[in-house]
Amino acid sequence: MTEVNLNETVNGYRGSIGRLVFKRYKGRTIVGRKPIITKAPTEGQLAQRERFKQAVAFAKSAVANPVLNAFYAPIARDRDISIYSLAVGDFLHRPSFQYVDLIAYKGRVGDTIEIKALDDIGLADVDVELVTQEGAPIESGKAVEEGRGSGKWIYTATAPVALGTRIFIEVRGIDHARTKIQISANPVVGEDE
């Protein structure tokens, strides 16, 4: 693609004219050739097209939704892109958990579990559930992000667990595009793994 300076009658034009495609990117007009497609699409390409259709539908709903619009607006302004483009990107970029850090968790009330999440915009919510090895509930609740957009979430324990007890921890997260992720750990309380 090439950056072009057009006269005021066509400056800011988006779309195609003949075999040329015009688009706005970070305040500039970019022009390129329209692709020539000669082969039938592969299964992967068809799946990606379907995912992109879903991303477009989500972006349209995000622009129309006052809460999501207000959330995305300052981020879009900082990145010099539209809310629509930001929402499409958020939908297409899958979040992930990097780790669950249990170094500070020793089974006492007030101990913390640190969760590191990776996402282009950040997660909207993170839930933590602790159960015994047999599946009996110990506690559950919300983790709190330490600094907006940091990706570092902290869960503070509310129930005591005896040292040496093997437990199961499940962490579930959801991003602003409603993509769900989860990670689990199966530690022995008080042992560094």
- What CATH number belongs to 96-185? 2.60.40.1220
In the beta sheet, which residues pair with residue 48? none
Each residue of 86-120: pLDDT tens digit? 999 999 999 999 999 999 999 999 999 999 999 88
- The pTM assigned to this predicted structure is 0.74
Q: Give the residue range(s) of CATH 2.60.40.1220 domains in the chain.
A: 96-185
| Residues in CB range of 113: below 8 A, 6 or more apart | 100, 101, 102, 104, 105, 128, 143, 154, 155, 157, 169
Each residue of 40-76: pLDDT tens digit? 989 999 999 999 999 999 999 999 999 999 999 999 9
